[in-house]
Amino acid sequence: MYQRRIVVASSVGLHARPAGLVAQAAAAQPAKVRIAKVSGGAAGDPVDAGSVLSLMTLGAAHGDEVELSADGDQARESVDVLVDLIAKDLDA
């Protein structure tokens, strides 16, 4: 399993437009990526990063830390694409 943590850069967090962009990018990846909100240093229950509704239910706001993970072939590449995306302000 490959995992990375990143701080959400979008001013509205992973809500609406940013969640749609992340879900679309996740769905295009060869490995299935999961995402969890980090609270108190521990990652919560992961959800499918390719689901807009799941992303929005995380409640990840601007400045919150999230953990992305994937298994199998191309897990690293799939996670890294989403990390790079979440590191940008997608609502700008």
Average pLDDT over residues 9-27: 95
The predicted-structure confidence for 32-58, as pLDDT tens digits, reads as follows: 999 999 999 999 999 999 999 999 999
pTM of the model: 0.94
Number of domains within the chain: 1
| CATH number of domain containing 58 | 3.30.1340.10
Q: Which of 78, 69, 91, 73 is nearest to 10 (CA)?
A: 91
Place of tokens 């609270």: 39
CA distance 7 to 84: 11
Q: Tell me if 92 is assigned to some domain.
A: no
Residue 53 lies in a domain: yes
Q: In this structure, which amino acid lies at residue 73?
A: D
